[in-house]
Amino acid sequence: MVTRLYSHPIYLEHITPPGHPERPDRLRAIERALEEEKFSGLDRVQAPEGDPATILYAHPQSFVEKVQAAIPETGIQRIDADTTASPKSWQAAITAIGAANAAVDDVFSGRADNVFVASRPPGHHAEKTTAMGFCLFNNAAIAARHAQKAHGVERVAIVDWDVHHGNGTQDIFWDDPSVLYCSTHQMPLYPGTGAPSETGVGNIVNAALAPRTGSDLFRDAFNTRVLPAVDNFQPDLIIISAGFDAHHRDPLAEINLTEEDFDWATGQLMDRADRHAKGRLVSLLEGGYDLQGLAFSVAAHVGRLMKG
């Protein structure tokens, strides 16, 4: 069983304002957690820079140019109330896309059985034409399209367990039956989307969780909504939008999961990948803002990926 880990020092150079929750220390906490002896078998690879042309798989050229124009030469440029760019943000974002696409290539070539990408900025709030929610480009959406274009994949399932709804991913695939998007998320909460009634063309599954929901209701949502949808869809690839801000320690939400819940959910999706997709599973870091909760949760997630 080969589990590959992609990261890159450039991700630390995407600078956000002091006190911003989406900060470089998130990746430092993950790096420390994955230094433990039990992770010595991880296949650690430096993320490649992505091809900017692949951004067009999910976003129009005019939007790409708008983001490029927002990158400052010095200091920090505010894109919206929550989302900022610094001089190295373009390179960080391109390298996050490069890692996501390389991870897809890896699981189709057999270089890895599954892959975890520890990158920033995150991506799931980036809509077709809007950067928001700490996100510039939608890494998961671009990777799904890359799988279809480069590997002839017919069906991709994206499962998003970030505590915030992935409005961007939903927006991009709203009317595309070749991509299944399933999300568990707190509601009400930013960004305000993700009601169960939002179903696209039958390819969107939103399992909204009330504040203070714990393990039982999260696992029930997985067992009754997410996993049956994945089984019915029979994807050729599963992509996880792996946010860990539903952890009980996280300051931005009120869902009370533990690292054991992320271990369990990972195992369930690995089972589905084995059943439908020859084991092909790619996991992309999204949120998670308490450093200890994030570190513990990623360690549980990656540990489960390595067990096969």
Known catalytic residues are 125
Tokens of 14: 């995407």
Task: Kindly report the number of other CB atoms within 10 A of residue 90's CB atom.
Answer: 18
Grouping H, G, I as helix, E, B as strand and the rest as coil, residue 286 is coil
Tokens of 11: 């991700």
Alpha-carbon distance of 234 to 181, in angstroms, equals 13
Alpha-carbon distance of 171 to 154, in angstroms, equals 20
Collect contacts of 290-293 with beta carbons under 8 A, ≥24 apart.
290/245, 290/247, 290/249, 290/250, 290/251, 291/25, 291/26, 291/29, 292/29, 292/249, 293/244, 293/247, 293/248, 293/249, 293/250, 293/259
